Structure 1
Amino acid sequence: MDWDDLRIFLAVARAESLSGAGRRLAMDASTVGRRIARLEASVGAALFLKTPGGYQLTAEGSRLMAPAEAAERAATAAAEAVSGDAGLSGQLRIGAPDGCANYLLPQVARDLCAAHPGLEIQIVALPRVVNLTRREADMAIAVSPPDTGRLMVQRLVDYHLHLAGHDDYLSRHPPLDRLEDLHGHRMISYIPDMIFDRELDYLSATGVEAAQISSNSVAVQMQAVRAGAGLGIVHDFAIPFAPGVRRVLTGRIALKRSFWLIRHADDRASRRLTLLAEAVAQGIRTEVARLEGQLSAAPDGRT
């Protein structure tokens, strides 16, 4: 049994499909299937059970996971030892909530790729927590620290959110002096049953029970605010990307949240991923400070 066979086995186990594994491996799904069949023939046991939900590990396949992941770590360590200090290269996949993915990670990726031309960065923006156990990403950004799994968790940075509206909308609607005034305004927020983390329940801070316009994406919410569709609680670091949008009731509604960097515990020995994690962490801190710094302190209702 060689490492290439185990590499394909791990990809199928994590993607739970031949096509998903093929995309990750840059390999045709039919080729992945043939390689798995060959591996099963060589070990004399079925490693996967094909179900309507995808490829599920059999008992024999589950037993193979630990040694296969150990071989993966050894192969990674060997590659890093050969590359030495030649620079960071290869693929890095980062999973993140779409606020971070839209407004912070593009600049971080730009700077990292400029510093390391051999690096390829993939940004996975998902309206849920990225599953590192299934290797959906090499590392993930989250708005809450996980309490389960074999994971390394690092607090990155605090960030701030405020109620905001576009000048066009604000000029056409009654002034905002008190929280009670919000009841005469159209609100924009998350779809309630699609809030995947309690830290994303922003609307409760306003005292308004329901939003007239909602989305599972904070980027879509910001675009609705920018279009003059209503008021929404938005990231301060996103406001510089939306000309005409300004904060309101800043002395009455001000939220603080944190970003957390999460890695799989098995990656602790990877010098490459450790260096990349440090660079991503510093990049996010720098961008939050830069963008929030563009919002000057001003009287309540203005930025």
Structure 2
Amino acid sequence: MQNWDDLRLFLAVAREQSLSGAGKVLLLDPATLGRRVARLEAALDTVLFVKSPQGYTLTDAGAQLLERAETAEQAMRLAVSGVVAPTDTLSGLIRIGAPDGCANFLLPQVCAEIGAAHPDLEIQVVALPRVFNLSRREADMAIAVSAPTAGQLLVQKITDYHLHLAASDSYLASHPPIESTADLHGHRLVGYIPDMIFDRELDYLADLGLGRVALSSNSVAVQAQMLRQGAGIGVVHDFSLPFVPGVRRVLPGLVRLQRAFYLIRHQGDQQNLRLRRFAEMLTAAIRAEVIRLEAKA
């Protein structure tokens, strides 16, 4: 490795995933920064980033360097301060990838609470209806609805959560009554776009033996709003119901699904105290928030 200045530039590009974003952080011209990155790669004889119109993505070698660079960054902060870092505060940037149901209905209040307790901490939530690629450092950690079985990853179950069929009061009042699952076949269904279901755990309607979806989206937040507008009947997270007034459970005594959230991290982060402490706070807060919201549903 060249020096701390090289690491500082590398960290900025890795975290911002673009020269322009890193340039704003470092107050450097993107062209100059690009030359510095190219010079660093040449000095190491290693490609650190995959460049594309979407930005700069870490290669496997870049991901390995990122781990070492973050360790060096923490050591530099301690050297500058001249003291041991406090054990009760966190700082720096942490990016979380999450499916949009979790990102929309759980993480805003959870991250607000953690951020209030740690004002020097920057938390980014990337809400995407797909599986995150941690090997490419799309996020520091990710929340998923199924546990991966491949890759060098740390996987921790966060909590179980529950889902029910639901519809708006207005829809139920203007359509035939629903007294059994057989009655569902005469109603319009709201759900996922079939070919955009990225995890088998999300194929709720198939589990219930229900067919064509009349109105669909790849976002559960959009589906919840469709139900609120009286579009039909769909499966919703219990923890989302407090956010969609006028929508209530259908056949709660007959249809109840259970799923789980998992926290996924890089195996190399096991020794990173900052990320480990954040992960502990995040999992505890999500568990508590699921319990609180499900009780209100």
Query: Compared with structure 1, are the counterparts of its residues 111 and 54 closer, same or farther at alpha carbon in structure 2 (3 Å cutoff)?
Result: closer
Which residue of the partner structure matches residue 180 of structure 1? 182
**Correspondent of 2:292 among 290, 293, 300:** 290
The separation in 1 between residues aligned to 2:205 and 2:66, in whole angstroms, is: 46
Query: Compared with structure 1, are the counterparts of its residues 28 and 175 closer, same or farther at alpha carbon in structure 2 (3 Å cutoff)?
Result: farther
Give TM-score scaled by structure 1 length.
0.84
Query: Compared with structure 1, are the counterparts of its residues 215 and 29 closer, same or farther at alpha carbon in structure 2 (3 Å cutoff)?
Result: farther
Which residue of the partner structure matches residue 301 of structure 1? none
**Correspondent of 1:132 among 131, 134, 158:** 134
The AA in structure 1 aligned to 2:116 is A
Query: Compared with structure 1, are the counterparts of its residues 112 and 48 closer, same or farther at alpha carbon in structure 2 (3 Å cutoff)?
Result: closer
* Structure 2 residue 74 is the aligned partner of structure 1 residue 76: yes
Query: Compared with structure 1, are the counterparts of its residues 279 and 223 closer, same or farther at alpha carbon in structure 2 (3 Å cutoff)?
Result: same
**Correspondent of 1:149 among 142, 145, 151:** 151
Query: Compared with structure 1, are the counterparts of its residues 45 and 123 closer, same or farther at alpha carbon in structure 2 (3 Å cutoff)?
Result: closer
User: Which segment drifts farther, 225-234 or 106-115?
Assistant: 106-115
The separation in 2 between residues aligned to 1:65 and 1:162, in whole angstroms, is: 40
State the Cα RMSD in Å: 3.0
Which residue of the partner structure matches residue 283 of structure 2? 281
Q: Is the 8 A contact 1:22 1:28 kept in 2?
A: yes
**Correspondent of 2:273 among 271, 278, 303:** 271
Give TM-score scaled by structure 2 length.
0.86
Query: Compared with structure 1, are the counterparts of its residues 90 and 64 closer, same or farther at alpha carbon in structure 2 (3 Å cutoff)?
Result: closer
* Structure 2 residue 236 is the aligned partner of structure 1 residue 238: no
**In the TM superposition, what whole-angstrom CA distance separates every residue of 1:48-91 from its partner, at most 9, and x where no partner exists?**
6867887688xxx8667645643433433554684232611222
* Structure 2 residue 230 is the aligned partner of structure 1 residue 225: no
Equivalence map 1:36-185=2 (5 Å): 36-40=37-41, 42=43, 66=64, 69-76=67-74, 79=77, 82-85=84-87, 87-185=89-187
CA offset at residue 22 of structure 1? 5.5
Which residue of the partner structure matches residue 36 of structure 2? 35
**In the TM superposition, what whole-angstrom CA distance separates every residue of 1:137-160 from its partner, at most 9, and x where no partner exists?**
121111011112221111010000
Consecutive unaligned residues in structure 2, runs of 5 or more: none
Aligned residues: 292
CA offset at residue 253 of structure 1? 1.7
Which residue of the partner structure matches residue 2 of structure 1? 3
Query: Compared with structure 1, are the counterparts of its residues 250 and 74 closer, same or farther at alpha carbon in structure 2 (3 Å cutoff)?
Result: same
Query: Compared with structure 1, are the counterparts of its residues 244 and 44 closer, same or farther at alpha carbon in structure 2 (3 Å cutoff)?
Result: closer
The AA in structure 2 aligned to 1:76 is Q
Q: Is the 8 A contact 1:14 1:134 kept in 2?
A: no
CA offset at residue 43 of structure 1? 5.1
Query: Compared with structure 1, are the counterparts of its residues 48 and 85 closer, same or farther at alpha carbon in structure 2 (3 Å cutoff)?
Result: closer
The separation in 2 between residues aligned to 1:240 and 1:51, in whole angstroms, is: 41
Which residue of the partner structure matches residue 298 of structure 1? none
User: Which segment drifts farther, 74-83 or 45-54?
Assistant: 45-54
Q: Is the 8 A contact 2:63 2:137 kept in 1?
A: no
Q: Is the 8 A contact 2:60 2:136 kept in 1?
A: no
The separation in 2 between residues aligned to 1:258 and 1:250, in whole angstroms, is: 19
SS of aligned partner of 2:157: strand
CA offset at residue 133 of structure 1? 1.7
The separation in 1 between residues aligned to 2:150 and 2:25, in whole angstroms, is: 26
User: Which segment drifts farther, 273-282 or 75-84?
Assistant: 75-84
**In the TM superposition, what whole-angstrom CA distance separates every residue of 1:5-37 from its partner, at most 9, and x where no partner exists?**
245446667887645766887865323312123
